Structures are given as C-alpha cells and as structure tokens.
Amino acid sequence: MKYKESKNFFPYPENPQRGDYVERVVDPRQAYYKVKPVNAEDEIPESASEFQK
Amino acid sequence: MAQAAKIQESIEDLEKKQEWWWIAEKKRSKRLDYLRKAVWKKGAIGGNYAPGVKVDLEIPVLFTQMYNWWKFDPPMLRRAKANAHILDNMTIFITDHAQLVGYVGTTPNTLLWRIDGASMVNEELYNEPGVMPEPEQASLKKVADLNAAWAGQTAVDKVARILDPEDAVKFLSGAIGWGAPTSAYGYSGKDYEFLFAQRNGFLDIIEKIDEAIEKAEDRTMGAPGPDILPLYERLQNWDAMKMILEASIRYANRYARLARIIAENYETDPTRKEELIRLAETCEHVPAHAPRSLQESLQYDHFVQVLARIEALEGAWPARPDYYHWPMYHKDVNVEKNITREEALDLVGEFMIRAYEVGGFGPRWAREGLQGITGTWVWTLGGVNKDGTDACNDLTVAFLQAARMVRVANPTFAFRWHPKVADDVMREVFECIRHGLGYPSIRNDPVLIQNAMHWHGHPLEEARTWVHQACMSPCPTTKHGVQPMRMASATANCAKMVEYALHNGYDFVVQMQMGPKTGDAAKFKDFEEFFAAWVKQMEWLTNTLVRTVNLGRYKDPEFFGRPFLSATYERAVESGLDAVSPVGERGNCWITGFTWVENADSLAAVKKLVFDDKKYTMAELLDALRTNWEGREDMRLDFVKAPKWGNDDDYVDDIMLRCLREVARHSREIQCPCGNTWPLLPENVSGNIHYSSIVGALPNGRRLGDALYDGGISPGPGLDKKGPTAVLKSCGKIDHVGDGRAFLLNQRLSPTQLAGEKGYQLWKAYIKTWADLGLDHVQFNMVSDETLRAAQRDPEKYQEVIVRVAGYSAHFVDISRKTQDNIIQRTIQGI
Amino acid sequence: MSESTDTAWGVVNDIQRMCVNDGPGFRSTVFLKGCLLDCRWCHNPEGKRRFPEVIPYVSNCKVCGECLPACPTGALSTNGGGLPKISRALCSDCMQCAAACRHEALVVWGRVMSADDVLSEVMKDKAFYKTSGGGLTVSGGEPMAQPAFVAALMRGAKADPDPNERIHTALDTCGHAAWADYERVLDFVDLVLLDIKHMDPSAHKAYTGRDNTLILDNARKMAARGMKMRLRVPVIPKVNDTEANFTATARFAAELGEAVTGLDLLPYHPYAGGKYRAFGMEYEFPAGEGYDDEMLTPIINLFLDYVPEVTVGG
C-alpha cells in the first residue's frame, strides 16, 4: 500500500506529493503519536506502525 | 494548655516513615504521575543502559548524508545544512498528556548519538550490547558504515593530529585527566539575557542577522581593502545562522501540525483536544516569537535546549529557570490569572521531566563516572537581581515543590543562598533536602559573585546573573560573559601530582614517564624539597591539560562549527563569528580538580612521619608504595593515622592552603584562548570510583584500588573524626574567593535528626554558620532508610551512621573504624 | 569560691560534637566516667565504673592470643570462641593487655583530662552554639560522680569576660547526688536535664539500685532555686511504661511548676544492643525498632496536660 492510500497520511498543502505519516505507538512505558515526512507515492514498509523494540 | 498531637492523614504517616517516593506519587497530579512514569531513563547503571533504550540511527544517517554532500562548505554552513536536514526530516513524537514537546531522539526510548565528535565513542557504540535498534544486524551494518565514513574525521581525530604528540599520548593515556576536547562532548551556556530578558524570538534574531548581512554586503560591494576580507566568511556564518533558525521554526511547526492532526483525526477526549490545540498554538508562536505565556516561555527554553543538543550533545544544562520564566509565570498566574497555581506546577513539573528525558550515548568511562544520569544538569535557583535585591519568587518555590513531586535524578538544583532569603523559601529548600532528593546544593551567593569578579573580571551586574555552568562553577548569562564551550576535559586527576613527585615523574600504574623528572625523592633532604617537586608536577599537569583544551577550543570553529548556538548568542549574531570563537568572550575557564585532597593528606603524612618524626625513611616509604604496602600493614596504618584534612588541624590544613595557593599563583600564569585565568575547582562526580584503579598507592595510606575520596574538599571517608563542625572549620580556612574557583563539600545527614520544626531551625543555624565561615558550597545527602534500619540492628558495623540519641555516647563505633577493610567508608555526620 | 580551672582534673569517656538531643541547638556533650546508679537498661555501660578501665571490643578481636600472657593476675581469659573477657574482681587495671593488643580489641575507656583541655575542645564549635542557641552539656555515666570537675567545666564555660562569648550550659543528671554537690555547680548551669526513671520507690530501687527519695527531693530544691529544667523520662518496656507511672510522673512535673520548661520522652532505643555486643556483654532488652508513634501518642497526650511541651527523643 502506498502512503497516499493510508488514512494516516496527511499531505502538505504546499506540496501534496509529500506529507506526514502518523503512527500510534504504545511502548512499555508510554503511548505517543509519532510522525515523519514521506513521499506520497512510496510504499509503506512492513515495519511501519509496529513499535520498534 | 493541652495540644492535640494528632496524626491522622495517611500522607503524614508516610512522611514519618520517610517513604518519599510514595508521597510524591500521592501528591502529584494524574498528568504528572503519568508523565513521570512514562519517561525512559537514559542514565546507565553500572555502565549499562536500561533494557529497551536504543541508539537513534535516523539522525546520524540524515546528518552524514547532508554533511558529506556539502563537503566544500565552511564548517558552520556545512553543519547548518546538515542539521536543518535533520530537523526537517527526523521522526518527532508527542507523548500522551504532554503539554511540552521536543526531544533529542526520534522516539522516547532513543539516545542521541553525535557521530562527529570522537571516533573512540563511535567504536564503543558498535560493541555496546543492547542498544542497537531492531533488526539488530541491519543496525550494526548501518553503524559500521557510518563509523567507516567518519573514521579519522571526527573533531577529536582532527585535534589529536595537531596536538604535540607527547601531549596527545599523555592526555589520551587517561591517567592525568578525562574528557574529549570538542564541542561535541562539552557544554555551553545560553545567552538568556539575549533570548529572554531582551525578548528576542528567532524571527527577531533573523531580522538582526539580515541587518548585519546588509551592512556587511554594503562594505563587501564597496572599496576593496584588507578590512573587508574577513567579512566574506562572516557572511557565510550569518547565512548558516539564519538557515538553522529558519529550520528550527519549521521544526516547531512540525509539532504544531502533528498536534492539530491528532486533535482533528484521532483524539476523542474534548479536554485533551483543547490541550493539543493549545500545544499547536504554542509551537506556532515559539521559538519564532518571544513568549506570551508560561507554557510558551518554558517551551521556548526547552526548544533552545533540544536544538543546541541536536547540534552538540551537551553534557550539562546551565539554566536559571525561576529567574527567566518569572515574567510569564507572574503574568499567567498572578496578574491575568490565566492559569491556576496547580496548572503552573503541572507545567513546571513537566518541564523538569522533559529535561530528565534527554540523553545521549556516552563512552563507558563517562557512564561510570555519572552513575544513573547522562550529564550533570544543575539548575540555578534563587540569588539576586542585577541590582543586588533578592531574586527569589513564587516560581522559585514552584520549582522546589515540583522537584519533590517528580523526583527526577536530573536536573538537580543549586540554590544561590544570600542573607536576605525569605524564611518560606528556605523552608522549601529544606524540604527538598529532607525528602532525600540530595539537592539543592547550597551556594554562597555573595562569595561567588566576588569570586566571578576576582578570577575573570566580570563586572558586578554581569556576575550577579551567574548560573552553574555545570555542577559548581559560576558563569554569567550575558553577551560577553556567557561561555560557549566548557570542556569536561579540563579535568585533572590531581592525585597524580603527589604520585609523580614521589616517583620522579614516573607513573607506575600506566608504566610510563609522564611528568618531568623532579628528582629521586629518596634524596630529598627536607619537606621543602619534596614540596617543590610537587609544585613542578602540578604545573606540568595543569599545563598539559590546558594546552590540549585551549587548542580544542581554538580549533572548534574549524573542526566542528556551531551555527545554532551562534544564532542564539548576541555577540555572534553581531560579529558573524562562531559563538565558540574566543573573540568577544571575556573568558570563564577553570580546571576541575578530581582527587585533590589526597595531595594535602599525602604531603602531611610524609612531612610528619618521614621528615618531622623520622619514623620512616623516604626510601622505605617509596619501596612500600611501589609494592602497594604489601607485608607492611602496620606501616600503612601509621600513614592512615597521620594528620588528615577535615579535622580542624592546622598541621595538615596549612599544607592544604599552601597547595591551593601554589595553584592559584599558577592559574594566573596560564591563560585561556580569551587571555583569562584558569583557576582550580576541587570536586568529583563519581570520578573517585573510576580513578581508583588508576591512582597508585599513596602516603595517605591508600592502596592501589582503594576508593578515592568523595570529592572537592570533603575529607576522606572515615578520616574526619571530629564531626561536621571540624570539617566546616577546616574548609573555612580556605579563602573561597581567592584560593580557587569553588570548592565542593559533601555532607551526609541522618533524617531522624532533621525532623520537624526543630530540625529545620537547626539546619538554618547550620547554614548560617557555614556562611559565616565563608564557604561557597555545601551539598547534603541523606542516609537511606535501609542503612538506618541496618544500623539500628548492628551499629558497630555501620559507621556510616553516627547516631545521635539523647544522652548516648556513640564513641564505641569510632574504635572499629580503622580496621574495617574493603568497605567504602562514608561518614554520616548525624546532625 | 575561686577554684582555678587549671588544677581541675577529671576522667572523660568522650566529647561528642554536634549533639542535637542533649539540650537546645547544637551542643558538645562531655561524657564523664563513673555513675551513682546502676540501671538495668543503661546505654553507656562504659560509663558505670569511675576510673579508666579496659573493656573488650570483641568485634575487632582476631583471636591472636597475644593479650593473654600480658595479664599478671589472670583476670583476662577467653570465652568459648576465643574472645576476651575480663574478671573485674581480679583485674588490677594495669592496662598491659590493651598495650599488647594490636587490633583495638582491648580498649582503654576513660581518659584523664584537665578542665582546660575539655573546654578548649568544646570551644571549637562556638560558631555553631551562637547561631543555634547551643552549648555545652555535661553527661555521663553520672557527671555528679565528679562534682569538682563538673563545677570547673561549667565555671569555665561562663568564664569569658565578654558575656557574648560565654556559652550555654546544661547538666544531664539522674539527680542522685548530695545537694551540697549540686550547690557547687548550679550557679553556672543554665538548664538541668533531669532523669525521672520511676516514681515508685521500690520499683526504682529494683531497676536502678537506689530508690528515688533523694532524686525527687533534689528536684524540688532545683525548682525552688529557680533552675530551668527539662525532665527526661525513659520509656522502657516492662519497667516503667505503665499509665500509672506516667501519671505519677506528670503530676510530679506539675508540682515542680514553672521550672519545668518541657519533658522529653526517651523511648528505649535499639542501638545500645550493638554496644553491648561489641563489648561482649549481654543486653537483656530486645533488639528491634523500639516504640513507634502509635504507642507513644497517648503518652505524649497524657503529659501535655501537665507540662507545656513534650518531645520524643529530646
């Protein structure tokens, strides 16, 4: 699945080819939302949205 | 006349049992409780990081990519581009219930790895178990590739290549000092006057930079001549500063955007939605503009700290939060009543937790020296205003209260005490100590203001702004006073001074000729000859360290470059020079002296037993030392029993003063890159443990491997037999203005003796006496409950606790002290 | 009366600095050797006998046996574990065994010192006395076993021609000495810390070796003389911790009137057990945590009806 197909992808108004990909993480101590800039057309990697141990 | 002595509430019950952790949990808000427990501790215990803590690899990869791309740029510009790339692309996060944001890593459990500082740290990282993110193999490959790209190119590599080879070998031997002479592993003060007192946001600074650029370009487009040539580089530096400020504003806006996305798409709780919107508004306003509220003020400060750290790690955290955030606190809580005091406490407590959260990967020896924390972050509270009036305020109290609620190991506080501090503030300070926090340490403000003026010539008003640069040394927060690069590597293992004086400059532990040949000690005719040798070794050791550190500082703009720090320094914005350049700084250097007291104790023992009493010859002593006292336990005990510092005994105290005054004299003969002095500051972090296998046997009775003394001018553990009053009186003989930079003194207290109102009044009286004696520092640590209970069962085994009970003589415990081996002795002076 | 301090000598066990429970502020407490009672729970047993003596410190003993041949009278022997013990009946106090021991397992307790020596040690902490309202406390054992020495110390503390340099003095006493001896001392004493161990005369005798008649009498005389007093009431399990005894004590305190500025409950504390063990002696009272707040609160409340202030621990 491409980022742009995900409901967690939020394109930049000034450049819709890039945007924020938001993930929710619950680690052993806390819960948080994290985000990084991605290209709309890139494939979402398998490891996304899993907590990085 | 009957009063009820009622003990009903469970919090009071807990207080009596001194279960401080549980009290903190009960008293703090749900939010603070969550955030405190949410934090990933980054400090290492026993040298190892906690399970689950990982090194972040995103930042080094982003940095390296962009840094290598711009390889022909001058250092500041190159770094600005690389760091801007990090800020634009790194993963950021917002923790649930948080009101403040900003972190040096990509997820809450990551450590920052500054790859461009020192190759030896990079190599250690590769071999460090447990810190590689999953999948481990892929991470190891990444680290190996990065290390290969940086091999020989880190700041320390570059410095080492131009150091005198002899200096390099001796410095890197680890015997005479520690630290790495680069910004990457140093720490900087912040020009809080520029940012907060003058209310400059980043856009305001960019405006000033634009003006400076315009002026400079007028000249570079004008008449040719030598005076315009330096401006070209400065124009590039200004570009770099502007670039990183703009990137920083974008970085803050990324948080705002994320907060809004969460509020609009994910968060269902209406209160939390409101908080997220407020968070977004905060991050849209600061750091671009000066703050308008307490939340913005704290967020601005935290952003500055995080951004400076992403640039250069930073091992300390100079700050004066009650002073610089007071205007917004006052406005929000007292004047406009926008938030309640409880809401303010939530922000203040979280501000401390955000600082606690910060951590970077450090080499093992540093981790061992800093048990459980990742740097020595000492925030400065109290003190006076520029006009000399009391600066303590509601926010001072709020920080002290918040500290007891969140109970973080870092930051700690140091309190600038002066004679006019109000009683209610003193009580709050006392409560923190009584709660077993181990802080605030108490600083004698009038003495230290004088000290800052004496050693470095800071004008009175600037001296009054002083903050702790690290744990002990004062530094102003002003345009010409702020110190951009303090390196921990100006830290001397002072015990080597007397060791080398004994062994003709030879170090038997690392097995090489280190110091100059000051003569065969067996041939010294009198103590004065021996002392003269000591002076020469002292001069050699300090010179070697300072040469290295001076060079590191001088070359840092070329080998490292600090665009962000420069952008937040008024003098750098004005001049277009790197903030680290010595030009424009008055100078604020000092030599941290680990293992200092061992010198006086050893010299005194030699004077007494070899030269005065003639009980042993020097040859016999040297032989004993070189064989680690083997088979000579009785002789060693004689040297243990020789006069010791901390007992109000002039025999050894006079020698201590002589030693200090020799260093003070020499401090004026050596200069920092700004042309200023290098005074000595005796203290330890946990260096006494790290150096115990590096310092050899000494005439104070120590064997190779014994723990060294606790720190600063604290007497050796168990060697102060006359109680805390004698310690203060010994320390009071030192001139805390002229004899050195500052002098650390640790004292341990028994909590049962400090209970209640009586305990508080006694403590206040103690502080008054301490101040009357002219001391500049004291830090109180409390005996743990566990130790107290064990001491009740077996008091003869627990010399750590000298019991004070009505009509009870605890003298019998003293008797067993001398023959206790292999226990780290710590004297608890139960007052 | 002008006894010069430089001819006053006494036997001293310890000068303990930074005491906070022996009167107000920070104090130096001078523990004199010798006692006039023989309390079963004594927490300074090294203070019972009047003159310098050797007491074993068994924790340090390395069982080397080098002390045994040094004893000329056979007073020194070892127990089953090889640890030293001294028969007081046979011991001639020659101190040779202590000289022979290289491990501090046989220790001489009690040092002969002049009043000047003691006072110069005490005066070192003057800076702390001034800021905290502290000073000198003379204790023991029972200091009034050496009344001339106590007089010299107290007089010396007050001897400075500048009144600001004189220090506060407290006398920590069980009250069982001749009134004539107290009269020599009290002119120079600011505060008396007086033990009231038991109000019942026969119980007092059973637990301390003497009844309390002289003690209570002296207390009344001190009050009549206008002395400031704090009563020190040890709380010892199964000895004096009954409501009846506390009530009687409280009534006595009220009888003394304004002289009594406060009362300190001194609960039995577990540290003494360690000292006895170190000396190779048996302590009949249990190790453990002593009294907790729940147990002490009713006692505090009882006394508060009769005296203006009650502390636990002094």
Tens-digit pLDDT profile for residues C39-55? 998 999 999 999 999 99
**Interchain contact A22–B (C-beta under 8 A):** yes
User: Residue A49: its pLDDT value, please?
Assistant: 59
- State the nearest Cα–Cα gap between B682 and chain C, in angstroms: 25
C78: helix, coil or strand? strand
Locate C100 and state its tokens.
Answer: 């022979």
Q: What is the span of the domain harbouring residue C186?
A: 5-49+111-312
User: Residue B321: its pLDDT value, please?
Assistant: 98
Distance CA B590, CA B680 (A): 6
C278 CB neighbours in chain B (<8 A) are: 796, 812, 816
Q: Which of A20, A29, A37 sits opposite B38 (nearest CB)?
A: A29
User: Residue B802: its pLDDT value, please?
Assistant: 58
Distance CA B782, CA B779 (A): 10
Residue B749 carries which DSSP code? E
pLDDT tops 70 at residue B814: no
Is the same domain home to C217 and C296? yes
Is the same domain home to B515 and B574? yes
User: Residue B830: its pLDDT value, please?
Assistant: 27
- State the nearest Cα–Cα gap between C113 and chain B, in angstroms: 17
pLDDT tops 60 at residue B817: no
Is the same domain home to B489 and B405? no
The 10 Å CB-count burial string (b at 16+, else e) for B166-194 is: ebeebbeeebbbbbbbbbbbbbbbbbbbb
B78 touches B71 (CB < 8 A): yes
User: Residue B4: its pLDDT value, please?
Assistant: 28
| Domain at C194, CATH number | 3.20.20.70
Mention every residue, 6+ apart, whose C-beta is less than 8 A from residue B576: B212, B216, B231, B233, B234, B235, B237, B238
Is the same domain home to B144 and B179? no
A34 CB neighbours in chain B (<8 A) are: 91-93, 106-107
B806 CB neighbours in chain C (<8 A) are: 21-22, 232, 264, 266, 313-314
Is the same domain home to C164 and C94? no
Q: What is the mean pLDDT of residues B297-315?
A: 96
Among the residues of B506-617, which ranges form H helices?
527-559, 563-567, 570-575, 597-606
Which of C299, C200, C276, C184 shows the shortest CA–CA distance to C245?
Answer: C200
B259: helix, coil or strand? helix
Report the range of poorest mean pLDDT among B506-520, B595-609, B798-812: B798-812
B792 CB neighbours in chain C (<8 A) are: 269-271, 287, 289
The distance between the two most distant Cα atoms of chain A, rounded to a whole number of Å, is: 37
**Domain annotation covers residue B237:** yes
CB contact under 8 A, B95 and A36: no
A37 CB neighbours in chain B (<8 A) are: 88-89
Is the same domain home to C96 and C215? no
- State the nearest Cα–Cα gap between C47 and chain B, in angstroms: 9
Is the same domain home to C183 and C228? yes
CB contact under 8 A, A33 and B258: yes
CB contact under 8 A, C31 and B793: no
As a whole number, the mean pLDDT across chain B is 90
Q: What is the mean pLDDT of residues B335-349?
A: 96
C/A Cβ contact: 3+ pairs below 8 Å: no
As a whole number, the mean pLDDT across chain C is 91
- State the nearest Cα–Cα gap between B3 and chain C, in angstroms: 7
B662 touches B535 (CB < 8 A): yes
Which of B90, B63, B91 shows the shortest CA–CA distance to B79?
Answer: B63
Q: What is the mean pLDDT of residues B596-612?
A: 97
Q: What is the mean pLDDT of residues B799-821?
A: 62
B109 CB neighbours in chain A (<8 A) are: 27, 29
Is the same domain home to C60 and C171? no
CB contact under 8 A, B258 and A29: no
Q: What is the mean pLDDT of residues B116-137?
A: 92
Is the same domain home to B594 and B715? yes
- State the nearest Cα–Cα gap between C187 and chain B, in angstroms: 22
Mention every residue, 6+ apart, whose C-beta is less than 8 A from residue B529: B519
Identify the sign of the CA torsion B507, B510, B514, B515.
negative
CB contact under 8 A, B107 and A20: no
User: Residue B829: its pLDDT value, please?
Assistant: 31
CB contact under 8 A, B765 and C25: yes
Q: What is the mean pLDDT of residues B748-769?
A: 84
Is the same domain home to B362 and B490? no
B805 CB neighbours in chain C (<8 A) are: 21, 43, 266, 269, 271, 313
Distance CA B431, CA A30 (A): 30
| Domain at C104, CATH number | 3.30.70.20
Distance CA B234, CA B78 (A): 14
B258 CB neighbours in chain A (<8 A) are: 20, 22, 33, 35
Q: What percent of chain B has pLDDT over 70?
A: 92
Q: What is the mean pLDDT of residues B694-721?
A: 86
Q: Is the pLDDT higher at B216 or at B369?
A: B216
Q: What is the mean pLDDT of residues B303-311?
A: 97
pLDDT band at C7 (very low <50, low <70, confident <90, very high): low
pLDDT band at B12 (very low <50, low <70, confident <90, very high): low
Last residue of a domain, one of B447, B475, B503: B475
User: Residue B810: its pLDDT value, please?
Assistant: 79
Last residue of a domain, one of B459, B475, B491: B475
Is the same domain home to C172 and C206? yes
Neighbours of chain C (3+ CB pairs under 8 A): B
C57 touches B815 (CB < 8 A): yes
CA angle B668, B669, B674 (to 5 degrees): 75
User: Residue C284: its pLDDT value, please?
Assistant: 82
Element (H, E) at B11: helix B10-17
pLDDT tops 80 at residue B719: no
pLDDT tens-digit series, residues B100-125: 999 999 999 999 999 998 898 999 99
Neighbour tally for B368: CB within 10 Å:
17
Which of B11, B12, B20, B13 shows the shortest CA–CA distance to B785?
Answer: B20
Distance CA C178, CA C29 (A): 23
pLDDT band at B13 (very low <50, low <70, confident <90, very high): low
Mutation pick from B34, B109, B266, B273 vs chain A, by most beta carbons of A within 10 Å, is B109
Q: What is the mean pLDDT of residues C147-158?
A: 96
pLDDT tops 50 at residue B9: no
Distance CA B6, CA B417 (A): 35
Is the same domain home to C153 and C183? yes
**Interchain contact C26–B (C-beta under 8 A):** yes
Query: Highest mean pLDDT range out of B364-368, B381-385, B693-697?
Result: B381-385
Name the burial class of residue C151, with classes exposed (0-12), middle (13-18) and buried (19+) by CB atoms within 10 angstroms of its CB. Answer: buried
Is the same domain home to C157 and C241? yes
pLDDT tops 60 at residue C288: no
Report the range of poorest mean pLDDT among B640-644, B759-763, C290-294: C290-294
Query: Domain residue spans in chain A?
Result: 3-39
Is the same domain home to C61 and C13? no
User: Residue B565: its pLDDT value, please?
Assistant: 97
Q: What is the mean pLDDT of residues B399-413?
A: 93
Last residue of a domain, one of C63, C91, C109: C109
Closest residue of B to A50, CA-based? Answer: B134
Q: How many domains does chain C have?
A: 2
Query: Highest mean pLDDT range out of B516-530, B634-648, B683-697, B815-829?
Result: B516-530
Q: What percent of chain B has pLDDT over 90?
A: 74
Distance CA B589, CA B452 (A): 11
Mention every residue, 6+ apart, whose C-beta is less than 8 A from residue C103: B819, C60, C61, C62, C64
Mention every residue, 6+ apart, whose C-beta is less than 8 A from residue B43: B359, B370, B371, B372, B373, B374, B409, B410
Distance CA B92, CA B106 (A): 6
User: Residue C79: its pLDDT value, please?
Assistant: 85
pLDDT band at B23 (very low <50, low <70, confident <90, very high): low
**Domain annotation covers residue B19:** no
**Domain annotation covers residue B47:** no
C191: helix, coil or strand? strand
Q: Which of A29, A33, A53 sits opposite B94 (nearest CB)?
A: A33
Is the same domain home to B397 and B291? yes
Report the range of poorest mean pLDDT among B512-526, B527-541, C67-81: C67-81
CB contact under 8 A, B796 and C25: no
User: Residue C210: its pLDDT value, please?
Assistant: 95
User: Residue B146: its pLDDT value, please?
Assistant: 96
User: Residue C289: its pLDDT value, please?
Assistant: 59
Closest residue of B to C311, CA-based? Answer: B758
Q: What is the mean pLDDT of residues B553-579?
A: 96
**Interchain contact B763–C (C-beta under 8 A):** no
Query: What single-letter amino acid sits at B193?
Result: E
- State the nearest Cα–Cα gap between B831 and chain C, in angstroms: 6
pLDDT tops 60 at residue B421: yes
User: Residue B1: its pLDDT value, please?
Assistant: 26
Q: How many domains does chain B have?
A: 2
Mention every residue, 6+ apart, whose C-beta is less than 8 A from residue B490: B177, B179, B545, B546, B549, B589, B590, B591, B592, B678
Is the same domain home to C32 and C93? no
Pairing of strands B591-594, B680-682: parallel
Neighbours of chain B (3+ CB pairs under 8 A): A, C
pLDDT tops 90 at residue C313: no
pLDDT tops 60 at residue B821: no
Q: Which of C128, C232, C274 sits opposite B795 (nearest CB)?
A: C274
CB contact under 8 A, A35 and B52: no
Query: What single-letter amino acid sits at B133?
Result: P
pLDDT tens-digit series, residues A17-52: 999 999 999 999 999 999 999 999 999 988 775 433
pLDDT band at B213 (very low <50, low <70, confident <90, very high): very high
User: Residue B2: its pLDDT value, please?
Assistant: 28
**Interchain contact A36–B (C-beta under 8 A):** yes
Q: What pTM value is reported for the model?
A: 0.90
Cα C104 to chain centroid distance, Å, stands at 24
pLDDT tops 60 at residue B329: yes
The distance between the two most distant Cα atoms of chain C, rounded to a whole number of Å, is: 61
Q: What is the span of the domain harbouring residue B573?
A: 168-188+483-720+731-744
C269 CB neighbours in chain B (<8 A) are: 792, 805, 808
Phi and psi based region of residue B756 (left: phi greater than 0; alpha: psi -120 to 50; beta: remaining): left
**Interchain contact C78–B (C-beta under 8 A):** no
**Interchain contact A10–B (C-beta under 8 A):** yes
Locate B573 and state its tokens.
Answer: 């914005």
pLDDT tops 50 at residue B683: yes
State ipTM: 0.94
C132 CB neighbours in chain B (<8 A) are: 761-762, 765-766, 769
Is the same domain home to B201 and B184? no
pLDDT tops 70 at residue B173: yes
Q: Which of C31, C301, C305 sits opposite B809 (nearest CB)?
A: C31
Q: Which of B765, B793, B803 sits opposite C26 (nearest CB)?
A: B765
Query: Highest mean pLDDT range out of B90-104, B402-416, C76-90?
Result: B90-104
